[in-house]
Structure 1
Amino acid sequence: MKKQWIALIVAIVAIFVALVAWLFYNLEEQKIVNKEMAELAELDKQEMENEYERFTLQYSEMMTQINNDSLVAQLTQEQMRTQQLLEELKNVKATNAREITRLKKELATVREVLRSYIRQVDSLNQVNETLRNENSQIRNELAASNREIEGLATEKASLSEKVAIAAQLDATGITMTPLNKRNKAAKKMKDCKQIQVSFTIAKNVTASNGNRTLYVRIQTPNGDVLNGGVFDYENRQIEYSMKKTIEYGGEETTVTTYWNVNEFLGAGEYRVSIFADGNMIGSRTFTFK
Structure 2
Amino acid sequence: MSESNSERDGNRKLLVVGLIIVLLSINGILFYMQHQTKKKIDQQDETIRLKNTELEDRIKQYEALKADFERQSQELQGMGLTNDSLQTKLAALDADLKKLRSFRNTSFSLADQRKFKQRAANFEAQLKKKDEEIARLKEDNEALYGENTNLKTTQNQLNDTIITVKRNNQALSQKVAIASRLEAQNIKVTTINQKGKEKEDSDEEFRAKRVDKIKVAFRLAKNEVAEKENKDIMMRLIEPDGAALYNLSTGSGTFMVNGQETFYTAKRDILFDNSGQEVSFIYSKGGPYKIGQHTIELYAEGNLIGKTTFTLK
| TM-score normalised by the chain length of structure 2 | 0.48
Structure 1 stretches lacking a partner, 5+ long: 1-64, 68-128
**Does residue 215 of structure 1 match 2:228?**
no
Question: How do residues 250-269 of structure 1 correspond to structure 2 at under 5 angstroms?
Answer: 250-269=274-293
What is the match of residue 188 of structure 1? 207
What is the match of residue 172 of structure 2? 159
- Asked if structure 2 preserves the Cα contact closer than 8 Å seen for 1:215 and 1:276, the reply is yes
Shift of residue 191 of structure 1?
Answer: 2.0
Root mean square deviation of aligned Cα = 2.7
**Does residue 149 of structure 1 match 2:168?**
no
Q: Distance in 2 between matches of 1:223 and 1:264?
A: 17
**Does residue 200 of structure 1 match 2:213?**
no
- Asked if structure 1 preserves the Cα contact closer than 8 Å seen for 2:235 and 2:264, the reply is yes
Larger Rg: 2
**Does residue 271 of structure 1 match 2:295?**
yes
Distance 1:143 1:245, change over 3 A: same
Q: Distance in 2 between matches of 1:222 and 1:262?
A: 18
Task: Determine what percentage of the aligned residue pairs are the same residue.
Answer: 27
Q: Distance in 2 between matches of 1:155 and 1:264?
A: 53
Q: Distance in 2 between matches of 1:230 and 1:279?
A: 14
**Residue identity matched to 1:143:** N
| SS at structure 2 position matched to 1:255 | strand
Shift of residue 257 of structure 1?
Answer: 1.1
Distance 1:141 1:218, change over 3 A: same
Task: Choose which of 109, 126, 140 in structure 1 pairs with 2:153.
Answer: 140
Q: Distance in 2 between matches of 1:265 and 1:258?
A: 15
Shift of residue 232 of structure 1?
Answer: 2.8
- Asked if structure 2 preserves the Cα contact closer than 8 Å seen for 1:274 and 1:280, the reply is yes
**Residue identity matched to 1:281:** I
Q: Distance in 2 between matches of 1:176 and 1:280?
A: 17
Q: Distance in 1 between matches of 2:188 and 2:178?
A: 25
Question: How do residues 94-173 of structure 1 correspond to structure 2 at under 5 angstroms?
Answer: 134=146, 135-173=148-186
What is the match of residue 281 of structure 1? 305
Q: Distance in 2 between matches of 1:239 and 1:131?
A: 66
Q: Distance in 1 between matches of 2:278 and 2:232?
A: 14
Structure 2 stretches lacking a partner, 5+ long: 1-78, 82-140, 200-205, 247-251
- Asked if structure 2 preserves the Cα contact closer than 8 Å seen for 1:221 and 1:269, the reply is yes
| TM-score normalised by the chain length of structure 1 | 0.51
- Asked if structure 2 preserves the Cα contact closer than 8 Å seen for 1:169 and 1:207, the reply is yes
What is the match of residue 238 of structure 1? 262
| SS at structure 2 position matched to 1:161 | helix
